[in-house]
Chains A and B, each alone.
Chain A
Amino acid sequence: MASIACSLRAARPVAMRFAPRAAPMARLAMPFRSFSSTRLSLARKYTKDHEWIDLSADRKTGVIGISEYAAEQLGDVVYVELPPAGEWTDQGDSIGAVESVKSASDINAPIRCKVTHTNALLEEKPATINQVPEDDSAGGGWIVKVEVDEEGAAQFDELLDAEAYKAFTSE
Protein backbone atom coordinates (compact mmCIF):
# COMPACT_ATOMS: atom_id res chain seq x y z
CA MET A 1 0.00 0.00 0.00
CA ALA A 2 3.05 2.22 -0.04
CA SER A 3 2.01 3.44 -3.28
CA ILE A 4 -1.07 5.45 -2.72
CA ALA A 5 0.55 7.86 -0.42
CA CYS A 6 1.73 11.16 -1.66
CA SER A 7 0.41 10.50 -5.09
CA LEU A 8 -2.40 12.93 -4.84
CA ARG A 9 -1.02 15.10 -2.15
CA ALA A 10 -0.17 17.91 -4.47
CA ALA A 11 -3.24 17.66 -6.61
CA ARG A 12 -5.76 17.10 -3.86
CA PRO A 13 -4.78 18.24 -0.40
CA VAL A 14 -6.30 15.88 2.07
CA ALA A 15 -8.05 17.00 5.15
CA MET A 16 -6.20 14.95 7.69
CA ARG A 17 -8.74 13.12 9.71
CA PHE A 18 -6.88 11.53 12.48
CA ALA A 19 -9.30 12.33 15.19
CA PRO A 20 -10.37 9.03 16.65
CA ARG A 21 -13.73 8.23 15.23
CA ALA A 22 -13.95 4.49 15.21
CA ALA A 23 -13.75 2.20 18.16
CA PRO A 24 -10.36 0.75 17.38
CA MET A 25 -8.72 4.13 17.56
CA ALA A 26 -10.17 4.69 20.97
CA ARG A 27 -8.89 1.35 22.08
CA LEU A 28 -5.39 2.43 21.24
CA ALA A 29 -5.57 5.17 23.77
CA MET A 30 -6.27 2.70 26.50
CA PRO A 31 -3.37 1.71 28.70
CA PHE A 32 -2.29 -1.84 28.25
CA ARG A 33 -3.56 -3.83 31.19
CA SER A 34 -2.51 -7.30 32.03
CA PHE A 35 -5.96 -8.38 33.16
CA SER A 36 -8.56 -6.86 30.97
CA SER A 37 -12.14 -7.81 30.43
CA THR A 38 -13.40 -10.92 28.71
CA ARG A 39 -12.31 -9.41 25.43
CA LEU A 40 -8.64 -9.79 24.66
CA SER A 41 -6.69 -6.58 24.72
CA LEU A 42 -5.42 -5.65 21.33
CA ALA A 43 -2.53 -3.50 20.37
CA ARG A 44 -2.61 -1.69 17.04
CA LYS A 45 0.41 -0.75 15.02
CA TYR A 46 0.97 0.68 11.57
CA THR A 47 3.42 0.24 8.70
CA LYS A 48 4.93 2.94 6.54
CA ASP A 49 3.03 1.22 3.75
CA HIS A 50 -0.21 2.26 5.47
CA GLU A 51 -1.47 -1.06 6.76
CA TRP A 52 -2.59 -1.50 10.35
CA ILE A 53 -2.51 -4.66 12.42
CA ASP A 54 -4.14 -5.50 15.73
CA LEU A 55 -2.23 -8.16 17.64
CA SER A 56 -4.02 -10.24 20.23
CA ALA A 57 -2.76 -10.24 23.81
CA ASP A 58 -1.38 -13.75 23.40
CA ARG A 59 0.41 -12.52 20.27
CA LYS A 60 -0.87 -15.45 18.24
CA THR A 61 -3.57 -13.85 16.09
CA GLY A 62 -4.16 -10.53 14.41
CA VAL A 63 -6.46 -8.47 12.22
CA ILE A 64 -5.12 -6.46 9.27
CA GLY A 65 -6.53 -3.55 7.32
CA ILE A 66 -5.46 -0.33 5.62
CA SER A 67 -5.27 3.02 7.37
CA GLU A 68 -7.76 5.85 7.10
CA TYR A 69 -5.03 7.89 5.50
CA ALA A 70 -4.53 5.24 2.82
CA ALA A 71 -8.26 4.81 2.25
CA GLU A 72 -8.60 8.52 1.72
CA GLN A 73 -5.69 8.66 -0.70
CA LEU A 74 -6.95 5.69 -2.70
CA GLY A 75 -10.25 7.25 -3.63
CA ASP A 76 -13.34 5.15 -4.23
CA VAL A 77 -12.51 1.48 -3.80
CA VAL A 78 -14.40 -0.56 -6.38
CA TYR A 79 -12.97 -4.01 -5.77
CA VAL A 80 -11.04 -5.83 -3.10
CA GLU A 81 -9.04 -8.87 -4.09
CA LEU A 82 -8.88 -11.13 -1.05
CA PRO A 83 -6.10 -13.69 -0.60
CA PRO A 84 -6.71 -17.42 -0.24
CA ALA A 85 -6.64 -18.54 3.39
CA GLY A 86 -4.11 -20.97 4.75
CA GLU A 87 -0.80 -19.76 3.41
CA TRP A 88 2.05 -18.12 5.29
CA THR A 89 3.06 -14.77 3.85
CA ASP A 90 6.32 -13.03 4.67
CA GLN A 91 6.47 -9.46 5.86
CA GLY A 92 6.09 -7.03 2.95
CA ASP A 93 4.67 -9.60 0.52
CA SER A 94 1.28 -9.05 -1.03
CA ILE A 95 -1.81 -10.33 0.81
CA GLY A 96 -4.39 -8.98 -1.59
CA ALA A 97 -5.09 -5.83 -3.52
CA VAL A 98 -7.64 -3.10 -3.86
CA GLU A 99 -8.74 -1.38 -7.02
CA SER A 100 -9.64 2.29 -7.10
CA VAL A 101 -9.53 4.87 -9.87
CA LYS A 102 -8.09 2.41 -12.41
CA SER A 103 -5.30 1.40 -10.02
CA ALA A 104 -4.62 -2.05 -8.67
CA SER A 105 -2.78 -1.47 -5.37
CA ASP A 106 -1.12 -4.27 -3.47
CA ILE A 107 -1.87 -4.74 0.21
CA ASN A 108 1.27 -5.95 1.95
CA ALA A 109 1.60 -8.17 4.99
CA PRO A 110 2.71 -5.88 7.85
CA ILE A 111 4.34 -8.89 9.50
CA ARG A 112 4.82 -12.54 8.69
CA CYS A 113 1.40 -14.14 9.06
CA LYS A 114 -1.02 -16.79 7.81
CA VAL A 115 -4.44 -15.71 6.60
CA THR A 116 -7.23 -17.53 8.45
CA HIS A 117 -10.28 -15.41 7.52
CA THR A 118 -11.06 -12.87 4.84
CA ASN A 119 -13.68 -10.16 5.13
CA ALA A 120 -16.44 -11.40 2.83
CA LEU A 121 -18.34 -8.14 3.27
CA LEU A 122 -15.74 -6.44 1.07
CA GLU A 123 -16.76 -8.65 -1.85
CA GLU A 124 -20.24 -7.18 -1.77
CA LYS A 125 -19.42 -3.72 -0.45
CA PRO A 126 -15.88 -2.71 -1.33
CA ALA A 127 -16.68 0.90 -0.40
CA THR A 128 -16.70 -0.23 3.25
CA ILE A 129 -12.95 0.31 2.99
CA ASN A 130 -13.58 4.00 2.39
CA GLN A 131 -16.13 4.31 5.16
CA VAL A 132 -14.59 2.40 8.07
CA PRO A 133 -11.11 1.26 7.05
CA GLU A 134 -9.86 0.90 10.61
CA ASP A 135 -12.89 -0.91 12.01
CA ASP A 136 -12.03 -4.50 12.92
CA SER A 137 -15.55 -5.53 13.89
CA ALA A 138 -18.23 -7.23 11.83
CA GLY A 139 -19.38 -4.61 9.33
CA GLY A 140 -15.96 -2.97 9.40
CA GLY A 141 -13.40 -2.53 6.64
CA TRP A 142 -10.76 -4.91 8.02
CA ILE A 143 -9.30 -7.13 5.33
CA VAL A 144 -7.98 -10.35 6.83
CA LYS A 145 -7.62 -12.17 10.12
CA VAL A 146 -4.32 -13.93 10.55
CA GLU A 147 -2.35 -16.36 12.61
CA VAL A 148 0.97 -15.01 13.84
CA ASP A 149 4.16 -16.87 14.72
CA GLU A 150 7.08 -15.73 16.89
CA GLU A 151 8.85 -14.12 13.99
CA GLY A 152 5.73 -12.14 13.10
CA ALA A 153 5.19 -11.10 16.69
CA ALA A 154 8.75 -9.83 16.88
CA GLN A 155 8.23 -7.85 13.66
CA PHE A 156 5.09 -6.35 15.18
CA ASP A 157 7.16 -4.74 17.94
CA GLU A 158 9.16 -2.84 15.33
CA LEU A 159 6.12 -1.25 13.65
CA LEU A 160 4.89 2.29 14.23
CA ASP A 161 2.47 3.05 17.02
CA ALA A 162 -0.47 5.35 16.29
CA GLU A 163 1.43 8.46 17.26
CA ALA A 164 4.50 7.64 15.20
CA TYR A 165 2.33 6.75 12.22
CA LYS A 166 0.46 9.99 12.51
CA ALA A 167 3.74 11.89 12.57
CA PHE A 168 4.93 9.88 9.55
CA THR A 169 1.88 10.71 7.45
CA SER A 170 1.99 14.36 8.44
CA GLU A 171 5.54 14.77 7.16
Chain B
Amino acid sequence: MRIPQLSSRRATTARLLTRSPSPSSAASLLPASSPLPSSASRFSSLTAPASHPSNKVQIYTSHSNDPFLNLSVEHRLLQITPPDSTVLTLYVNSPSIIFGRNQNPWLQVNLNRLTQIAQQPSRVSWTDSPIQLVRRRSGGGAVFHDAGNVNFSVICPPERFDRDKHAEMVVRALKALGRPNTRVNQRHDIVMDVASDVAPDMETYKISGSAYKLTRLRSLHHGTCLLRSPNLASISGLLRSPALGYIDARGVDSVRSPVRNIDVDNQEFKDAVVREFESMYGDVHFRGEFDDTALEVDEIRKGYQELKSKSWIWGQTPKFTFSTHPTEEDPRPRPELPFDLNIHLFARHGVIEDMSIKHSDGAAINGLDASVFHGTSVWEITNWTESLRRAGLGDGLSKEAGEWLNGVLGAEYAKMALNEM
Protein backbone atom coordinates (compact mmCIF):
# COMPACT_ATOMS: atom_id res chain seq x y z
CA MET B 1 0.00 0.00 0.00
CA ARG B 2 1.18 3.46 -0.81
CA ILE B 3 1.75 5.46 2.31
CA PRO B 4 0.20 8.85 1.79
CA GLN B 5 2.25 11.96 2.29
CA LEU B 6 1.21 13.09 5.71
CA SER B 7 3.68 15.69 6.78
CA SER B 8 1.56 18.75 6.28
CA ARG B 9 -0.64 19.78 9.12
CA ARG B 10 -3.33 21.30 7.02
CA ALA B 11 -3.35 19.31 3.86
CA THR B 12 -4.54 15.95 5.08
CA THR B 13 -8.22 15.27 5.28
CA ALA B 14 -10.44 12.25 5.24
CA ARG B 15 -10.60 12.75 1.52
CA LEU B 16 -6.96 11.89 0.96
CA LEU B 17 -7.19 8.57 2.66
CA THR B 18 -10.61 7.37 1.69
CA ARG B 19 -10.62 4.71 -0.95
CA SER B 20 -13.37 6.32 -3.00
CA PRO B 21 -12.99 10.01 -2.46
CA SER B 22 -16.14 11.99 -3.02
CA PRO B 23 -15.88 15.65 -3.88
CA SER B 24 -18.30 16.56 -1.11
CA SER B 25 -16.05 15.30 1.68
CA ALA B 26 -13.92 18.38 1.30
CA ALA B 27 -16.67 20.04 3.25
CA SER B 28 -15.44 18.28 6.35
CA LEU B 29 -12.70 20.86 6.54
CA LEU B 30 -15.16 23.67 6.92
CA PRO B 31 -15.90 25.05 10.37
CA ALA B 32 -17.79 22.81 12.72
CA SER B 33 -20.98 24.78 12.30
CA SER B 34 -21.32 23.96 8.62
CA PRO B 35 -23.68 21.13 7.74
CA LEU B 36 -22.04 17.79 7.18
CA PRO B 37 -22.23 16.24 3.77
CA SER B 38 -24.87 13.58 3.73
CA SER B 39 -22.53 10.81 2.72
CA ALA B 40 -23.79 7.34 3.51
CA SER B 41 -21.48 6.43 6.37
CA ARG B 42 -19.11 9.02 7.63
CA PHE B 43 -17.27 7.04 10.24
CA SER B 44 -16.73 4.12 7.92
CA SER B 45 -14.81 6.49 5.68
CA LEU B 46 -12.71 7.32 8.74
CA THR B 47 -12.00 3.71 9.64
CA ALA B 48 -9.21 3.28 7.11
CA PRO B 49 -7.27 6.43 8.02
CA ALA B 50 -7.93 5.92 11.75
CA SER B 51 -6.20 2.56 11.63
CA HIS B 52 -3.51 3.49 9.11
CA PRO B 53 -0.10 2.85 10.70
CA SER B 54 1.38 6.10 9.48
CA ASN B 55 -1.33 8.23 11.12
CA LYS B 56 0.44 8.63 14.44
CA VAL B 57 -1.25 11.86 15.47
CA GLN B 58 -4.99 12.15 14.93
CA ILE B 59 -7.70 14.60 15.96
CA TYR B 60 -11.44 13.97 15.86
CA THR B 61 -14.39 16.27 16.45
CA SER B 62 -17.87 14.93 17.03
CA HIS B 63 -20.98 16.58 15.70
CA SER B 64 -23.19 14.25 17.70
CA ASN B 65 -24.51 15.09 21.17
CA ASP B 66 -25.48 11.49 21.90
CA PRO B 67 -23.38 10.31 24.87
CA PHE B 68 -23.78 6.66 23.91
CA LEU B 69 -22.55 7.38 20.40
CA ASN B 70 -19.63 9.53 21.44
CA LEU B 71 -18.44 6.93 23.95
CA SER B 72 -18.85 4.16 21.37
CA VAL B 73 -16.83 5.98 18.70
CA GLU B 74 -14.18 6.78 21.28
CA HIS B 75 -14.06 3.09 22.26
CA ARG B 76 -13.75 2.08 18.61
CA LEU B 77 -10.85 4.52 18.18
CA LEU B 78 -9.22 2.89 21.22
CA GLN B 79 -9.47 -0.42 19.41
CA ILE B 80 -8.43 0.48 15.88
CA THR B 81 -5.94 3.35 15.98
CA PRO B 82 -2.28 2.29 15.56
CA PRO B 83 -0.67 1.14 18.83
CA ASP B 84 1.90 3.93 18.76
CA SER B 85 -0.52 6.71 17.80
CA THR B 86 -1.90 9.54 19.92
CA VAL B 87 -5.50 10.50 19.30
CA LEU B 88 -7.46 13.51 20.54
CA THR B 89 -11.26 13.47 20.41
CA LEU B 90 -13.53 16.34 21.40
CA TYR B 91 -17.27 15.98 21.98
CA VAL B 92 -20.21 17.54 23.75
CA ASN B 93 -23.09 15.47 25.16
CA SER B 94 -26.72 16.37 25.69
CA PRO B 95 -27.72 16.33 29.38
CA SER B 96 -26.59 13.05 30.87
CA ILE B 97 -25.24 11.46 34.00
CA ILE B 98 -22.21 9.38 33.13
CA PHE B 99 -21.20 7.04 35.92
CA GLY B 100 -18.16 4.80 36.30
CA ARG B 101 -17.68 1.25 35.06
CA ASN B 102 -17.93 -0.20 38.56
CA GLN B 103 -20.57 1.99 40.16
CA ASN B 104 -24.09 1.48 41.43
CA PRO B 105 -26.66 3.77 39.76
CA TRP B 106 -29.20 3.27 42.59
CA LEU B 107 -26.59 4.67 44.93
CA GLN B 108 -25.02 7.36 42.74
CA VAL B 109 -28.05 8.91 41.09
CA ASN B 110 -31.33 10.46 42.15
CA LEU B 111 -33.52 8.44 39.79
CA ASN B 112 -36.72 10.19 40.90
CA ARG B 113 -35.24 13.47 39.86
CA LEU B 114 -34.42 12.05 36.42
CA THR B 115 -38.02 10.86 36.11
CA GLN B 116 -39.44 14.25 37.08
CA ILE B 117 -37.14 15.99 34.65
CA ALA B 118 -38.26 13.67 31.86
CA GLN B 119 -41.96 13.73 32.67
CA GLN B 120 -42.70 17.10 34.29
CA PRO B 121 -39.74 19.32 33.53
CA SER B 122 -41.58 22.56 34.25
CA ARG B 123 -42.57 21.40 37.75
CA VAL B 124 -38.91 21.06 38.65
CA SER B 125 -37.93 24.15 36.62
CA TRP B 126 -35.93 22.08 34.14
CA THR B 127 -35.64 23.77 30.76
CA ASP B 128 -33.10 21.47 29.16
CA SER B 129 -33.72 18.11 27.47
CA PRO B 130 -34.22 14.91 29.54
CA ILE B 131 -31.17 13.43 31.22
CA GLN B 132 -29.75 10.18 29.92
CA LEU B 133 -28.18 7.67 32.27
CA VAL B 134 -24.93 6.17 30.99
CA ARG B 135 -22.50 3.62 32.42
CA ARG B 136 -19.14 4.26 30.76
CA ARG B 137 -16.34 1.73 30.21
CA SER B 138 -13.74 3.66 32.16
CA GLY B 139 -13.34 3.79 35.93
CA GLY B 140 -14.05 6.60 38.35
CA GLY B 141 -17.14 8.37 39.65
CA ALA B 142 -20.40 9.87 38.43
CA VAL B 143 -20.44 13.17 36.53
CA PHE B 144 -23.02 15.34 34.82
CA HIS B 145 -22.67 16.47 31.19
CA ASP B 146 -24.61 19.02 29.19
CA ALA B 147 -24.11 21.39 26.27
CA GLY B 148 -21.98 23.70 28.41
CA ASN B 149 -19.47 20.95 29.13
CA VAL B 150 -16.84 19.90 26.59
CA ASN B 151 -15.27 16.46 26.83
CA PHE B 152 -11.71 15.80 25.75
CA SER B 153 -10.25 12.36 25.26
CA VAL B 154 -6.69 11.31 24.56
CA ILE B 155 -5.80 7.78 23.48
CA CYS B 156 -2.10 6.96 23.60
CA PRO B 157 0.28 4.02 24.06
CA PRO B 158 0.14 2.66 27.61
CA GLU B 159 3.89 3.18 28.00
CA ARG B 160 3.25 6.90 27.79
CA PHE B 161 0.15 6.92 29.97
CA ASP B 162 0.27 9.47 32.75
CA ARG B 163 -2.82 10.63 34.59
CA ASP B 164 -1.70 14.26 34.72
CA LYS B 165 -0.11 14.74 31.31
CA HIS B 166 -3.25 15.60 29.37
CA ALA B 167 -4.97 17.32 32.26
CA GLU B 168 -1.93 19.63 32.22
CA MET B 169 -2.45 20.04 28.49
CA VAL B 170 -5.99 21.27 29.13
CA VAL B 171 -4.77 23.59 31.89
CA ARG B 172 -2.31 25.14 29.42
CA ALA B 173 -5.22 25.63 27.02
CA LEU B 174 -7.25 27.33 29.74
CA LYS B 175 -4.33 29.52 30.73
CA ALA B 176 -3.91 30.55 27.10
CA LEU B 177 -7.55 31.60 27.22
CA GLY B 178 -6.89 33.88 30.15
CA ARG B 179 -7.65 31.53 33.04
CA PRO B 180 -4.39 31.61 35.03
CA ASN B 181 -6.05 30.34 38.22
CA THR B 182 -6.45 26.76 36.96
CA ARG B 183 -4.32 23.77 37.94
CA VAL B 184 -4.31 19.98 38.23
CA ASN B 185 -4.86 18.77 41.79
CA GLN B 186 -3.73 15.58 43.53
CA ARG B 187 -6.81 13.70 42.38
CA HIS B 188 -5.79 14.50 38.78
CA ASP B 189 -8.80 16.82 38.46
CA ILE B 190 -8.61 20.34 37.08
CA VAL B 191 -9.60 22.93 39.65
CA MET B 192 -9.69 26.69 39.82
CA ASP B 193 -8.79 28.83 42.77
CA VAL B 194 -10.86 31.92 43.38
CA ALA B 195 -10.73 34.58 46.04
CA SER B 196 -13.29 33.89 48.71
CA ASP B 197 -16.01 36.36 49.56
CA VAL B 198 -16.00 35.37 53.19
CA ALA B 199 -12.66 33.79 54.12
CA PRO B 200 -9.14 35.11 53.64
CA ASP B 201 -8.12 31.88 51.92
CA MET B 202 -8.77 30.97 48.32
CA GLU B 203 -11.71 28.75 47.50
CA THR B 204 -11.16 25.85 45.14
CA TYR B 205 -13.72 24.56 42.67
CA LYS B 206 -13.53 21.55 40.40
CA ILE B 207 -14.11 22.32 36.74
CA SER B 208 -12.95 19.06 35.18
CA GLY B 209 -12.86 15.41 36.19
CA SER B 210 -11.11 12.51 34.51
CA ALA B 211 -11.39 8.77 34.11
CA TYR B 212 -9.15 6.22 32.45
CA LYS B 213 -9.29 2.91 30.67
CA LEU B 214 -6.20 0.81 30.16
CA THR B 215 -6.03 -2.09 27.75
CA ARG B 216 -3.09 -4.19 26.70
CA LEU B 217 -2.23 -2.04 23.71
CA ARG B 218 -3.83 1.32 24.43
CA SER B 219 -4.66 3.75 27.18
CA LEU B 220 -7.55 6.19 27.26
CA HIS B 221 -7.85 9.33 29.34
CA HIS B 222 -11.11 11.20 29.03
CA GLY B 223 -12.17 14.22 30.96
CA THR B 224 -14.92 16.79 31.26
CA CYS B 225 -14.57 20.55 31.32
CA LEU B 226 -17.38 22.68 32.70
CA LEU B 227 -17.39 25.80 30.56
CA ARG B 228 -20.85 27.34 30.65
CA SER B 229 -23.20 24.70 31.98
CA PRO B 230 -26.64 26.23 32.58
CA ASN B 231 -27.51 23.41 34.97
CA LEU B 232 -24.78 23.72 37.59
CA ALA B 233 -27.23 24.34 40.42
CA SER B 234 -28.94 21.01 39.73
CA ILE B 235 -25.89 18.77 39.55
CA SER B 236 -25.48 18.19 43.25
CA GLY B 237 -29.11 17.11 43.72
CA LEU B 238 -29.02 14.85 40.67
CA LEU B 239 -26.07 12.99 42.11
CA ARG B 240 -27.59 12.48 45.57
CA SER B 241 -29.55 9.27 45.92
CA PRO B 242 -32.37 8.82 48.44
CA ALA B 243 -31.10 5.22 48.88
CA LEU B 244 -27.71 6.42 50.14
CA GLY B 245 -28.33 5.49 53.78
CA TYR B 246 -29.66 2.04 52.96
CA ILE B 247 -27.34 0.63 50.30
CA ASP B 248 -24.03 -1.04 51.05
CA ALA B 249 -22.28 -1.54 47.73
CA ARG B 250 -19.10 -3.10 46.48
CA GLY B 251 -17.46 -1.16 43.70
CA VAL B 252 -16.53 2.44 43.43
CA ASP B 253 -17.93 5.49 45.18
CA SER B 254 -17.92 9.04 43.88
CA VAL B 255 -16.04 11.85 45.53
CA ARG B 256 -18.23 14.92 45.88
CA SER B 257 -16.61 18.23 44.93
CA PRO B 258 -17.97 21.76 44.62
CA VAL B 259 -18.03 22.65 40.93
CA ARG B 260 -18.06 25.83 38.92
CA ASN B 261 -18.02 26.94 35.29
CA ILE B 262 -14.77 28.33 33.95
CA ASP B 263 -16.78 30.55 31.59
CA VAL B 264 -15.17 29.92 28.22
CA ASP B 265 -16.90 29.46 24.87
CA ASN B 266 -17.08 25.81 23.68
CA GLN B 267 -15.42 26.44 20.32
CA GLU B 268 -12.69 28.60 21.81
CA PHE B 269 -11.95 25.85 24.32
CA LYS B 270 -11.83 23.14 21.64
CA ASP B 271 -9.53 25.25 19.47
CA ALA B 272 -7.23 25.95 22.40
CA VAL B 273 -7.05 22.26 23.37
CA VAL B 274 -6.28 21.34 19.76
CA ARG B 275 -3.48 23.94 19.70
CA GLU B 276 -1.93 22.54 22.89
CA PHE B 277 -2.26 18.99 21.58
CA GLU B 278 -0.54 20.04 18.35
CA SER B 279 2.27 21.70 20.21
CA MET B 280 2.81 18.49 22.21
CA TYR B 281 2.69 16.05 19.31
CA GLY B 282 3.65 18.06 16.27
CA ASP B 283 2.25 17.45 12.84
CA VAL B 284 -1.28 16.10 12.83
CA HIS B 285 -1.44 13.28 10.32
CA PHE B 286 -5.18 12.98 10.24
CA ARG B 287 -8.19 15.06 11.20
CA GLY B 288 -11.65 13.55 11.18
CA GLU B 289 -15.18 14.50 12.03
CA PHE B 290 -18.09 12.24 12.79
CA ASP B 291 -21.77 12.41 13.61
CA ASP B 292 -24.69 10.05 14.29
CA THR B 293 -24.09 8.23 11.01
CA ALA B 294 -21.14 6.54 12.74
CA LEU B 295 -23.80 4.06 13.84
CA GLU B 296 -23.69 2.62 10.35
CA VAL B 297 -20.38 1.03 11.28
CA ASP B 298 -21.19 -2.44 12.64
CA GLU B 299 -18.71 -2.44 15.53
CA ILE B 300 -19.78 1.01 16.67
CA ARG B 301 -23.43 0.07 16.52
CA LYS B 302 -22.70 -3.07 18.53
CA GLY B 303 -20.83 -1.11 21.21
CA TYR B 304 -23.63 1.48 21.21
CA GLN B 305 -26.30 -1.14 21.71
CA GLU B 306 -24.31 -2.70 24.53
CA LEU B 307 -23.94 0.66 26.31
CA LYS B 308 -27.69 1.29 25.94
CA SER B 309 -28.74 -2.15 27.16
CA LYS B 310 -30.30 -2.59 30.59
CA SER B 311 -27.93 -5.46 31.25
CA TRP B 312 -25.02 -3.03 30.90
CA ILE B 313 -26.46 0.05 32.62
CA TRP B 314 -28.00 -1.84 35.56
CA GLY B 315 -26.76 -5.40 35.21
CA GLN B 316 -23.09 -4.46 35.52
CA THR B 317 -23.63 -3.18 39.05
CA PRO B 318 -21.27 -4.75 41.60
CA LYS B 319 -23.10 -6.67 44.30
CA PHE B 320 -24.92 -4.68 46.93
CA THR B 321 -27.30 -4.94 49.85
CA PHE B 322 -30.25 -2.72 50.64
CA SER B 323 -31.36 -2.86 54.27
CA THR B 324 -33.95 -0.77 56.06
CA HIS B 325 -32.30 -1.63 59.39
CA PRO B 326 -28.70 -1.88 60.58
CA THR B 327 -27.05 -5.20 59.77
CA GLU B 328 -23.81 -6.83 60.83
CA GLU B 329 -22.16 -5.87 57.54
CA ASP B 330 -23.75 -2.42 57.38
CA PRO B 331 -24.35 -1.23 60.96
CA ARG B 332 -25.06 2.41 60.11
CA PRO B 333 -28.04 3.71 62.06
CA ARG B 334 -31.12 4.18 59.88
CA PRO B 335 -33.84 6.82 60.06
CA GLU B 336 -37.12 5.55 61.49
CA LEU B 337 -39.52 4.27 58.86
CA PRO B 338 -43.23 5.06 58.62
CA PHE B 339 -44.08 1.33 58.59
CA ASP B 340 -43.36 -1.74 60.71
CA LEU B 341 -41.13 -3.76 58.37
CA ASN B 342 -37.50 -4.83 58.20
CA ILE B 343 -36.59 -5.31 54.56
CA HIS B 344 -33.27 -6.70 53.41
CA LEU B 345 -32.26 -7.31 49.84
CA PHE B 346 -29.06 -8.68 48.30
CA ALA B 347 -28.41 -8.23 44.59
CA ARG B 348 -25.65 -9.37 42.29
CA HIS B 349 -25.54 -7.89 38.79
CA GLY B 350 -28.66 -5.97 39.85
CA VAL B 351 -30.60 -9.23 40.23
CA ILE B 352 -32.11 -10.07 43.63
CA GLU B 353 -30.47 -13.20 45.03
CA ASP B 354 -31.81 -12.88 48.53
CA MET B 355 -34.73 -10.99 50.01
CA SER B 356 -36.20 -11.02 53.47
CA ILE B 357 -39.17 -9.09 54.84
CA LYS B 358 -39.97 -9.29 58.55
CA HIS B 359 -41.57 -7.16 61.19
CA SER B 360 -39.22 -4.60 62.72
CA ASP B 361 -38.85 -6.78 65.81
CA GLY B 362 -37.75 -9.71 63.64
CA ALA B 363 -41.05 -11.59 63.79
CA ALA B 364 -42.09 -13.43 60.65
CA ILE B 365 -45.06 -12.22 58.63
CA ASN B 366 -47.85 -14.71 58.09
CA GLY B 367 -48.50 -15.67 54.50
CA LEU B 368 -45.51 -13.80 53.12
CA ASP B 369 -43.05 -15.51 50.79
CA ALA B 370 -40.24 -13.06 49.99
CA SER B 371 -38.46 -15.70 47.95
CA VAL B 372 -40.72 -14.83 45.01
CA PHE B 373 -38.36 -11.89 44.51
CA HIS B 374 -35.37 -14.13 43.94
CA GLY B 375 -34.13 -13.87 40.38
CA THR B 376 -35.97 -10.59 39.75
CA SER B 377 -33.94 -7.70 38.37
CA VAL B 378 -34.25 -4.64 40.58
CA TRP B 379 -34.48 -2.45 37.45
CA GLU B 380 -37.57 -4.33 36.31
CA ILE B 381 -39.57 -3.66 39.47
CA THR B 382 -41.78 -0.79 38.41
CA ASN B 383 -44.18 -0.90 41.33
CA TRP B 384 -43.10 -2.25 44.71
CA THR B 385 -46.63 -2.08 46.11
CA GLU B 386 -47.79 -4.59 43.52
CA SER B 387 -44.72 -6.77 43.99
CA LEU B 388 -45.10 -6.86 47.79
CA ARG B 389 -48.77 -7.72 47.47
CA ARG B 390 -47.95 -10.57 45.13
CA ALA B 391 -45.44 -11.86 47.67
CA GLY B 392 -48.31 -12.13 50.15
CA LEU B 393 -47.93 -8.95 52.21
CA GLY B 394 -51.18 -7.35 53.36
CA ASP B 395 -52.66 -4.44 51.41
CA GLY B 396 -51.95 -1.76 53.99
CA LEU B 397 -48.31 -2.61 54.55
CA SER B 398 -47.78 -3.24 50.85
CA LYS B 399 -48.98 0.24 50.09
CA GLU B 400 -46.98 1.98 52.81
CA ALA B 401 -43.74 0.11 52.24
CA GLY B 402 -44.25 -0.08 48.48
CA GLU B 403 -44.60 3.65 48.06
CA TRP B 404 -41.52 4.21 50.16
CA LEU B 405 -39.50 1.66 48.19
CA ASN B 406 -40.74 3.12 44.90
CA GLY B 407 -39.27 6.44 45.98
CA VAL B 408 -36.00 5.16 47.38
CA LEU B 409 -35.22 2.72 44.57
CA GLY B 410 -36.51 4.79 41.67
CA ALA B 411 -39.35 2.54 40.51
CA GLU B 412 -40.90 5.33 38.42
CA TYR B 413 -37.66 5.61 36.54
CA ALA B 414 -37.65 1.86 36.00
CA LYS B 415 -41.16 2.10 34.59
CA MET B 416 -40.18 4.92 32.26
CA ALA B 417 -37.03 3.11 31.12
CA LEU B 418 -38.91 -0.13 30.43
CA ASN B 419 -41.53 1.71 28.41
CA GLU B 420 -38.79 3.17 26.26
CA MET B 421 -37.72 -0.26 25.14
Contacts and interface: CB of A to CB of B under 8 A. Distances in A.
Interface of A: 1-8, 10-11, 49, 78-79, 81, 92, 94, 97, 99-106, 108, 123-124
A51 B322 CA distance: 36
Q: In this complex, which of B216, B251, B318 has the most chain A Cβ atoms within 10 angstroms of its Cβ?
A: B216
A81 B211 CA distance: 17
Given A7-B219, A97-B101, 5 more contacts: A3-B219, A11-B164, A104-B100, A104-B138, A108-B216
B158 A104 contact: no
A69 to B, nearest CB: 14
10 contacts: A2-B216, A8-B162, A11-B162, A11-B164, A94-B215, A99-B139, A102-B163, A102-B212, A104-B214, A108-B216
A78 B252 contact: yes
Contacts of A105: 213-214
Interface of A is mostly: mixed
A90 B137 CA distance: 21
B105 to A, nearest CB: 15
A5 B219 CA distance: 11
B214 A6 contact: no
A13 to B, nearest CB: 14
B81 to A, nearest CB: 15
Contacts, number: 95
Given A11-B164, A104-B137, A5 B215 contact: no
B158 A99 contact: no
A123 B250 CA distance: 7
A7 B140 contact: no
B161 interface: yes
Question: Ordered nearest first, which 4 A-B pairs have the shortest CB separation?
Answer: A3-B214, A102-B140, A3-B158, A103-B212
B216 A104 contact: no
B13 interface: no
Nearest to A79: B102
A7 B139 contact: no
Contacts of A3: 158, 161, 214-216, 218-219
A7 B318 contact: no
